[in-house]
Amino acid sequence: MLDRPSPTPDAPSHDPQALARALSGLHFIGGRFAPAKHGRTFAVVNPATGETVAEAADGDAADVEAAVTDAARAQKEWARVPARKRGALVHQAAQLIRTHVEELARLVALETGKALRTESRVEANNVADIFEFFGGLGGEIKGEHVPFGPEVLNFTLREPLGVVGAIIPWNIPMMLLALKVAPALVAGNAVVVKSAEEAPLAVLRIAELMNRVLPAGVFNILSGQGPECGAPLVAHPLVKKVTFTGSVETGKIIYRAAAEKLIPVTLELGGKSPMIVFADCDFEKTVAGALTSMRFTRQGQSCTAASRIFVERPIFDRFVAEMAKRVDAMVMGDPLDEKTDIGTIISPGQFEKVKTFIDEGKATAGATGRACSAMPDDAALKKGLFIQPHIFTGLTKESRLVREEIFGPVTCIFPFDDAEDVLAEANDTEFGLAASLWTNNLKIAMSFAHRIEAGLVQVNQNLVVQPNLSYGGVKASGLGKEASLESMLEHFTHKKTIMINMA
């Protein structure tokens, strides 16, 4: 249990600035807050104003050593707790998180620039759902009887792996933390999380809240830079599994390091998701779905964003015009304002990257880039990392905007005439995370769903990740699955076979 006193309030706080200050300069290791071993910190900046709202502990190998050692010690006792009781404790922690949903939503909006109403509050509720879902699966940590012979009892057990190292990104940090931590804990592992440099606060608060319920040491969280903190976590000899969400380049580095230790990894590495719209679709439903699919309320900072939209030619012009109209009506502004639909880009580096892509698209001969919505006029936001969403038409299939993951508010729309040709275009990418189809023709929907190269295919909808539905990509989009019972069993336990000769 959490060893009080703590610098943070027991009750939910609706003052994200005050809570950010209270969380400054701290990891959470062994059931208590702790500063970085060498005392270093780095700034956490509100991307809507450019103001520093907190300092994060700048962890390194010494902090990793402390966290992993504590986790390994705690894991031995945690594994002896009956699985259903472990699940019940995780579920109890989920109930505590649910009472802090508004607090967490405001805190993550402050540090990431994601709009409170359209994004951050939704994410915070999803976190509670995920922990509740996995908390109910403790009874499914079980093996099977395998017939072998009348005088031999042969059965299997599911056992935890040990200490899990989890590295999470900044775009939906709380939800991706939950998808990694919840199944790992219920399966009997201890977890050490390395948070994203840009978004260390809300996830740190979640760790503190859960440690009010969980045994000390089974859930730890560090902040720091990738090479100095993330790399030692992956390399630590007591870390027996790594789960990572982020870029392809970093995923390959982690995969190589894990291979040196011969430990399992789960990697979710991004996408360039196609959305295919047939002329027979329910037009109004499809336009509304496309508005969600593009993830513009998250400034396009989503692996599953529909960044390539293919529309059958008879409705192409109407579709593009309606999409531009709908995005124009969205309000860009202060992420903590209830009227805001669209917040900011996460960081100056990402801002420049996205801007470079947009400028390149606008300079392409024959292409049209439509800037939608309007920049905020509040003087307090003049230093904010706001970029207008852009809808591009007329780009070639070889354009970098079409081939590469931008992770920004940019989508490219193309007309098509032939169904087989558009399927080939949809699959012509190194990625294979998600895709959506929009048609009332069941035969086409089933045929395309089977043949699209993606780990998640949705027809006439494009929802975000849902608990109990297996989620993960193929090709360069990664390895392994998340969000399901299958993912908990296959990625956070190993199967032991026991044979008893009774002759």
Backbone angles phi, psi at 114, to 5 degrees: -80, 135
Measure the CA angle with vertex 432, ends 430 and 435; round to 5°. Answer: 130
Contacts (Cβ under 8 Å, ≥6 apart) of 31: 1, 2, 3, 211, 215, 216, 217
Of the residues 111, 123, 482, 490, only one is catalytic, namely: 482
Is 412 marked active-site? no
Q: Which long-range contacts (CB under 8 A, 24 or more apart) does 486-490 make?
A: 487/183, 487/266, 488/134, 488/137, 488/140, 488/141, 488/183, 488/186, 488/187, 489/140, 489/141, 489/158, 489/187
Is the CB of residue 395 less than 8 Å from the CB of residue 310? no
Cα dihedral: 398, 402, 404, 407 (round 10): 160
Of the residues 281, 303, 372, 412, only one is catalytic, namely: 303
The three-class DSSP label of residue 286 is helix
DSSP at 215: P
Contacts (Cβ under 8 Å, ≥6 apart) of 26: 7, 33, 34, 35, 57, 204
Is 303 marked active-site? yes
Of the residues 180, 194, 241, 272, only one is catalytic, namely: 180
Is 180 marked active-site? yes
β 27-29/265-268 pair status: unpaired
Backbone angles phi, psi at 54, to 5 degrees: -165, 170
Cα dihedral: 13, 15, 21, 23 (round 10): 30
Contacts (Cβ under 8 Å, ≥6 apart) of 108: 114, 120, 123, 124, 173, 174, 199, 201, 202
First to last CA, the chain: 48
Q: CB-hemisphere CA count at 13 Å for 51?
A: 10
Is 272 marked active-site? no
Helices marked H in 100-197 — which ranges? 101-112, 121-135, 173-186
Cα dihedral: 425, 427, 433, 438 (round 10): 60
At 480, list the tokens. 């392994």
Q: Which of 227, 243, 148, 117 is nearest to 502 (CA)?
A: 148
β 41-45/163-167 pair status: unpaired
CA 66 – CA 472 distance, rounded (Å)? 32
Counting beta carbons within 10 angstroms of the beta carbon of residue 321, is it exposed (0 to 12), middle (13 to 18) or buried (19 or more)?
exposed
Of the residues 111, 119, 123, 268, only one is catalytic, namely: 268
CA 100 – CA 11 distance, rounded (Å)? 8
Residues tagged active-site: 180, 268, 303, 482
